[in-house]
Structure 1
């Protein structure tokens, strides 16, 4: 009789692997935010996660850890559902009246600034010093523009005369990014809510009739 290999498909093992990955990514995010990407080592991440360096490398390279942390920051969890399908993004797109859309945009901005911007700052700094990460940054910016096009395109019935959705998208894309947020919130001391109010007012005044 030929001996068969047993194939183990243990839900417990899969759950443990997910917990390990989550712990490593949590630790990596803390290290990147506290020290910056360049100054963070895999040993730092291992110490912060309470695991071996080998376990950290088992989750990927330092660059892949950064990108996973960015993805988590953008959508808020480890699920693969893209931002454009998330409830916070869908709400302003699907709202049917101007006031409701602007209110939903404000909620989206508040969430984005608090949850995402700190890691995006780390991502941008890493891209400035690493050509491989710079390529991924360029792709992130292309996706961000596409998401903005979907969002601003939903305002098309209210756009100013002579302003098409593509140009309106570019204006929103330039305003709603980490650099002006950092300048106003971190440097000038604005609250997140004040920035959100500013952006919604800018969309209303610059783009809408």
Structure 2
């Protein structure tokens, strides 16, 4: 009769433990789904790995190592895990919860940094777009200026003015050569006269457009 009572109590304990484990596994699954959304660096991945190891250790403890009947403590007609084992379970769960909170905080920080990075990228894109627009405007103005200069250079008025200037320069060069020849051929010692010497030297330089 006592054996049946122990067996019945053990069955009830298994049901209670299964319910607790199921709730814990649901919570773990929820945390894992949340953690899958984190785009984290190596340090966060290491935390996730530790979290999974603790979860596996907890699952192994609950499912793979059933306690013998002699290790069950009976209190008020219901069985429970000994205090030391329960404390180990609670420590594992508490550390897992702490790791999960750490990961969530890091995830929030990653999201903040990602938003800042997105804003910087957006500003950089807008700046590049604006610079491209300005460069296009400058290029268009340069082309217009070059076209206008080509038009001016090839216009009849400009060509006529250029020809007139060339003729004037040619006449001035002839006059300079004539003056230089007159001074040198005059027999005057122009080398002793600084003004005449300067005039002779200047007349020897040709004018160019």
**TM-score, with length taken from structure 2:** 0.24
**TM-score, with length taken from structure 1:** 0.24
Structure having the higher helix fraction is 2
